[in-house]
Each structure stands twice: as structure tokens, then as C-alpha cells.
Amino acid sequence: MSDWILYVLIGVALAFAISSWWGVRKLKALHVRSAVAEDAHESGLAEQRVAVILNPVKARAQEAKETIRRTCLAAGWDAPAFFETTLEDPGFSQMQAALATRPDVVLVGGGDGTVRVAAESLAHTGVAMGLIPLGTGNLLARNLELDVNDLQGNVQTALFGRQRFIDTARMGIHNSRTGHSSEHVFLVIAGIGMDAEVLADTNAGLKKAVGWLAYTEAGMRHLPGRRKKISISLDGSPEQVRNIRSVLFANCGLVPGGIDFIPQAMIDDGMLDVVVMSPRSALGWLLMYVKVLFKHSGKLPIMTVYRSGRVIIKCPEPMPTQLDGDTSGEATRLTVQVDPRSLLVRVKGGI
């Protein structure tokens, strides 16, 4: 790669980082993520049985553990039951063990992957989930307007906050080449195409050092590339054939960097916002970025947004997928379905 191309890429990456920082602080949100169906309500519990799913490798995991234990004892409750995830099991068996204790609330201390696994078990149980964000993205916590840097405040919210129901969604993944099929819950944004490629190619060391900005470096390397043909059906409608770089399925719209990627996406409206992105060139990506950053309401043919409760995508060749920032394998067929108001979460007062 010639020096001038490298300088251009570095310049664009810096501009992205600076404008994202500016956008977080200066741009007024077009809506607040308050409940569509009902307001948050009190738990009505004077005393609670507390279980905790904790990813022990996170930087503040031990501090979170001690804070939770101390807060429960100060309230006069029984000591919380802790269940730690492992590299081999990101929380599936731990959640079953936690639910066996018949908790009133399950606190989840970790990143987006731990939260997603916990939500898969908690959906439709009526047991509340309290978020203790310890990861890099913490996307659900941000969309619920939690301060991801306030550990003590998040423990207080998870134990004593109000609660509300939110939507979850399920993505069924099938790869006709390998015969592999699976189904997973997601809470924020899933996708197929370039977004999954970027996640798979993000440098782990860089991500640990600079957080979400590491995605920018990987994203710049993946901007060049060809569009791929897919068919897409929304809520049982006839299939459309599209040439795309990426398709996103948004339950809510705030993404790393504090960018409100899809301002109209609401977390409890029973719908997904489906974003089909099909830029041909760097100019197309730039136009999309400007539209997102400045929340421009004008139509952009290379970035179309649909609202749907069920989406089916077929592709002639396997394409990579992702769920809330975790890669989830390649697919030749996706079925994405919203699950309205299926998860009870603890939130701050007034959210």
C-alpha cells in the first residue's frame, strides 16, 4: 500500500473518531427511548433473592462482585448467589443454575455476549434482568440510558430500580453448504455482510487498548469490496432481489461511539428496523455516514430502512453474520423474528 493511501485512511479514521465524539456530545437526539406500551413500574418487592452471572475476566469483575454482595447485605437480604462464566460456557449452564435458585432478579456482569446469553434464558420467565455493564460496547445498557462507567449506580439500578418490558429478537442461521443450523437471541443489532466481516477482523489487542475505536480501523480496511446478491422477504411479502454490502436488523438504534444509527428504532414497539446498505464506492459510504451522523431525514437509495416483524434472507453463497457484536458464523438463509415485550429489565427511574 502506498504511503498516500495509508495517510488518507488514517485521516478518515481520525475524522470518524472526532466526529463521533462531537456527535455524542453536541447532537440532540430525535427521540427518547421511553416505553411505547407503558411506563416503567416498581418491582413491588421489599426483599429479593438475587443471582449474579459474572464474566470473571472483565477488568472490574471483582469490584462488581464485592459491590453487589455488600449492597445486598446492607439491604438485609440473603447473600447473592454468584455464577461465573467460562471460556467453554459463556453462561448457558450458569443461567440454568441461577434460575434454579428461584431469583427475583438476575444481575448480569459482563459484555454484550454475556447479556445476550442471559437474556435467552430469561425471556418470558418474568424474572427481571439487572445490567452491570463491564464490556467494551455495552450496547443494551447504553440504549437503556445507563452510565456504563458508574458501577455503583448500575448496581443500585439493578437491585432497586424500576423495571419495564422490552423486545428481544431471534435469528435463525442456516448454512446449506455445511448443513449447520442454529438459533440465537439478540437484543440490539444483528446483521449479515460487511458488518460481520469487520467484527471478525477487528484486532483484539487494539480493541482492548482503545475500545470501540478498533472497529474503525477494521472498517476502513473493509470499505472496498463487491456487493453480493441476496433475496429479502419482509413479513411474508414477495421476495426482493438486492445487491448489498450489509443488512442490519435493529431492535434499538444506539451503536458504539454513541451514534444514534437508527433514531426511529424503539426497544419495545414490537418491530425491527431493517437497514439495507448497498454502496458501490467510498463516496457512497461517505454519504451514508453523513446521513447517520447528522440524522438527515432525506432518502438515500443506497441505504433503505424498512420496518418488519419477520425477515427472511437467502443468499446464493454463504455470508458472515453477527449478533450484538459477536460473530455467529456464515449463513445462506436467515430468519429473523421479533419477540415483543419478552424480557423484563431494571432501569433508572423515569426511563
pLDDT tens-digit series, residues 43-97 = 889 899 999 999 999 999 999 999 999 999 999 999 999 999 999 999 999 999 9
Give the tens place of pLDDT for each residue, 11-57.
Answer: 554 554 444 444 433 333 333 444 455 678 898 898 999 999 999 99
pLDDT at position 38 is 63
> Strand pairing of 128-133 and 105-110?
parallel
| Section 293-304 average pLDDT | 82
- Higher-pLDDT residue of 214 and 28 is 214
Q: Is 205 exposed, middle or buried (0-12, 13-18, 19+ CB in 10 A)?
A: exposed
Q: Give pLDDT, residue 301.
A: 87
Residue 204: other Cβ atoms inside 10 A: 8
Return d(Cα 276, Cα 301) in angstroms, integer. 10
Q: What angle do CA 197, 148, 48 make, to 5 degrees?
A: 115
Checking if the pLDDT of 310 tops 90, the result is yes
pTM: 0.84
- The CA distance from 191 to 173, in Å, is 11
Q: Distance (Å, rounded) from C-alpha 170 to C-alpha 115?
A: 14
Query: Which residue bears the cell 419477520?
Result: 310
- The span from the CA of 222 to the CA of 115, in Å, is 28
What does the block give as the cell for 74? 446492607
N- to C-terminal Cα distance for the chain?
Answer: 49
Q: Lowest mean pLDDT of 60-74, 165-179, 204-218, name the range.
A: 204-218
Mean pLDDT score of the chain, rounded to an integer?
A: 87
For 226, the grid coordinates are: 463487491
DSSP conformational letter for 237: P
pLDDT surpasses 90 at 220: no
Q: Is the pLDDT of residue 3 over 90?
A: no
d(CA 76, CA 48): 10
Is there a contact between 218 and 203 (Cβ–Cβ < 8 Å)? yes
pLDDT in tens, 111-160: 999 999 999 999 999 999 999 999 888 999 999 999 999 999 999 999 99
**For the chain, what percent of residues have pLDDT higher than 90?**
66
What was the pLDDT predicted at 256?
67
Between helix 61-74 and helix 151-160 the angle, nearest 10°, is: 40
Amino acid identity, residue 322? Answer: Q
Name the burial class of residue 56, with classes exposed (0-12), middle (13-18) and buried (19+) by CB atoms within 10 angstroms of its CB: middle
The most confident of the ranges 153-167, 200-214, 248-262 is 153-167
H helical segments located in the chain: 3-26, 61-74, 92-100, 112-122, 139-143, 151-160, 194-200, 204-210, 214-222, 282-293
In terms of phi and psi (left: phi > 0; alpha: psi -120 to 50; beta: otherwise), the region of 193 is: left
Predicted pLDDT of residue 153: 97
What is the pLDDT at residue 280?
A: 87
| CA 12 remoteness from chain centre | 25
Q: What would the mean pLDDT of 281-301 be, rounded to a whole number?
A: 82
pLDDT at 169: 98
At residue 285, the pLDDT reads: 83
Average pLDDT over residues 160-182: 97
Q: How confident is the model at residue 224 (pLDDT cuts 50, 70, 90)?
A: confident
Separation CA 28–CA 42 (nearest Å): 29
pLDDT value of residue 119? 98
Say what the pLDDT of residue 29 is.
36
Q: d(Cα 349, Cα 26) in Å, to the nearest integer? A: 24
- Sign of the alpha-carbon dihedral angle for 221, 223, 227, 233: positive
Predicted confidence band of residue 225 (pLDDT cuts 50, 70, 90) = confident
Percent share of the chain, pLDDT over 70: 85
Q: Say if strands 50-54 and 105-110 run parallel, antiparallel, or are unpaired.
A: parallel
Task: Summarize the confidence of residues 312-334 as an average pLDDT.
Answer: 96
